[in-house]
Structure 1
Amino acid sequence: MNSMRQFASSLKAKHRVSSIGEGRRVYAIGDIHGHLEELEELLAWIESDLESHEGRSDLVFLGDYIDRGPDSRGVLKRLAKEKLPGDAHHFLMGNHEAVLLDLVDGHASDGFSWLSYGGREMLESYGVKKSKILSSAGTIAKLIVETLPKSHLEFLRNLQTMVTIDDYAFAHAGIRPGKSLKKQKARDLMWIRDPFLSSKKDHGKVVVHGHTIEAEPADRANRIGLDTGCYAGGSLSAVRLEGSGRHFVSVPSRGPEWPR
């Protein structure tokens, strides 16, 4: 873990209005995109970090587990079937999972777009040959259902769009500013960028999100951004929330830069 980068929040004390309840520790993990090795390193750090913690602990995964990276299958298997550190685990739906389910459920039909969006790499991680993938673009839903284990599809169907814990709200992309958390639309929670990213508003809770790549984790008074572009040669990032503190951890990508 020598390559792992860690740093504490740099926000001034006057902004520290958000907190996690006493005795509780929450970890949020950004967009994974099929990068199992980096995920394993981050989970190992969390497990080690929890050894001295005696209270409750939560892990929140912010979505986009699949597509683009080398091992979507391994990531889904790890999250859906294997033991994870922490007491409670919350899995959010990203826009990539939403697109896949729309294809499977007949709400979208453009298999070529999904394949260019990272779907080809996902299917290849399940052992499907590139030639078969490209020849099946018109019937991609059928190929997805034939390829993915039922447990993986069930995992994807059970993903949540938002989770709130104490003074924080967790969503894949963010929220629509000016609307209460209870009135947020699923599409915004999975797809929004601006006006959310540029908003200086108090959203009622600090929003922890991924979806939009930034060079470093975004540490703002009203939001925390954790997509640091692991699939694009950046890193896989997480934040530990405890009391009023924020501690950031980033694992550099081992893969080549995107596009390949």
Structure 2
Amino acid sequence: MLIEEARLPPGLRVYAIGDIHGRVDLLDQLHGLIEADLAPASEYGAPEKTVIVYLGDYIDRGPDSHAVIERLTRPRFPGVETVTLLGNHEAMLLEFLEAPYGAALWLANGGDATLRSYKVKIPGSFDEFLLTQRTLLGVLPRHHKQFLLGLPVQVQYGDYLFVHAGIKPGLPLDRQSREHMIWIRGAFLDSESDHGMIVVHGHTIVHEVEWRPNRIGVDTGAYTTGRLTALVLDGAERRLLHT
């Protein structure tokens, strides 16, 4: 399937939001833009059904991971369905909560910012990893942990597949692994294969939304650029909202 052929069922609008990475300020701004976009008096009006898909990586790097998770556990839009997908950064945090001595990768990729947002001391050595894990487990709100544990890896609407990172080309969807969908880069990004659906993803930063015949990349690097993007899908139409 080519991008120009893809569409959603009539009456459905989807907002797909790229990687937030602790920028609750930008998330609040983008939610405001969505709210205005959904207003009956807006240019586009309110559809019969609306879904907001968050593409993962809510935490790390930026300063307010705690606040982002809190926002996402308390949906802002009455009557609007929300889907929060698993990103590789949430997966790294969950792995840290299970096995603290594997924390080096997470901390090297922005996990220190998440610890600060929960007011947990950054471990200064390998020997402190276990204490840091226990401290984080003690301060992590129960509803935050339940949220993290319940994140799905993919969702489909119409001719679109939504995942955090992408899929392994040539492999049927029911055989894709969790690791493929939250970590893959090169093989997916370079592929010109027809995946059968248009894949909407984040994970890999682009200066502008990347429109390819078989995929759309919407991670515009919010934590460093100040630009958080939502892809708006409505029937055969595609447009953007961004901070």
Tell me, yes or no, whether TM beats 0.5: yes
2:142 corresponds to which of 150, 154, 178: 150
Query: CA deviation digits over 1:196-217, x for unaligned, max 9?
Result: 0011111011000000011111
Residues paired across the two proteins, number: 235
Q: What does residue 96 of structure 1 align with?
A: 89
Relative to 1, partners in 2 of residues 1:110 and 1:140: Cα closer, same or farther, differing over 3 Å? farther
Q: What does residue 36 of structure 1 align with?
A: 24
Q: What does residue 173 of structure 1 align with?
A: 165
Task: Give the Å deviation of 1:232.
Answer: 2.2
1:24 corresponds to which of 12, 22, 26: 12
Q: Is the 8 A contact 2:197 2:214 kept in 1?
A: yes
Please state if 1:220 is matched with 2:175: no
Q: What does residue 87 of structure 1 align with?
A: 80
Task: Give the Å deviation of 1:138.
Answer: 4.4
Task: Give the Å deviation of 1:22.
Answer: 0.7
TM-score by length of 2: 0.91
Paired with 2:148 and 2:67, the residues of 1 have a C-alpha distance of: 14
TM-score by length of 1: 0.85
Cα-Cα RMSD: 1.7
- Counterpart residue type for residue 179 of structure 2: R
Task: Give the Å deviation of 1:126.
Answer: 1.8
What stretches of structure 1 of length at least 5 have no aligned partner? 1-13, 252-260
Paired with 2:233 and 2:191, the residues of 1 have a C-alpha distance of: 22
1:163 corresponds to which of 130, 145, 155: 155
Q: What does residue 42 of structure 2 align with?
A: none
Paired with 1:212 and 1:33, the residues of 2 have a C-alpha distance of: 13
Query: CA deviation digits over 1:72-107, x for unaligned, max 9?
Result: 00000000124336521111000000011112122x
Paired with 2:179 and 2:130, the residues of 1 have a C-alpha distance of: 25
Paired with 2:215 and 2:161, the residues of 1 have a C-alpha distance of: 9
For the residue of structure 1 that corresponds to 2:5, the secondary structure is coil
Paired with 1:186 and 1:155, the residues of 2 have a C-alpha distance of: 17
2:37 corresponds to which of 41, 45, 49: 49
Paired with 1:248 and 1:120, the residues of 2 have a C-alpha distance of: 31
Paired with 1:137 and 1:117, the residues of 2 have a C-alpha distance of: 16
Q: What does residue 116 of structure 1 align with?
A: 108
Q: Is the 8 A contact 1:30 1:209 kept in 2?
A: yes
Please state if 1:134 is matched with 2:105: no
Q: Is the 8 A contact 1:207 1:222 kept in 2?
A: yes
2:66 corresponds to which of 63, 73, 92: 73
Task: Give the Å deviation of 1:165.
Answer: 0.7
Q: Is the 8 A contact 1:110 1:138 kept in 2?
A: no
User: Structure 1 vs Structure 2: percent identity of aligned residues?
Assistant: 43
Paired with 2:119 and 2:130, the residues of 1 have a C-alpha distance of: 19
Query: CA deviation digits over 1:39-87, x for unaligned, max 9?
Result: 0111111111111214100000000000010100000000012433652
- Counterpart residue type for residue 69 of structure 2: L
Query: CA deviation digits over 1:11-46, x for unaligned, max 9?
Result: xxx851100111110000000000001001111111
Task: Give the Å deviation of 1:141.
Answer: 2.4
Paired with 2:130 and 2:22, the residues of 1 have a C-alpha distance of: 24
Q: What does residue 180 of structure 2 align with?
A: 188
Name which of structure 1's ranges 142-151 and 33-42 shifts more when overlaid on structure 2. 142-151
What stretches of structure 2 of length at least 5 have no aligned partner? 40-44
Paired with 1:109 and 1:187, the residues of 2 have a C-alpha distance of: 20
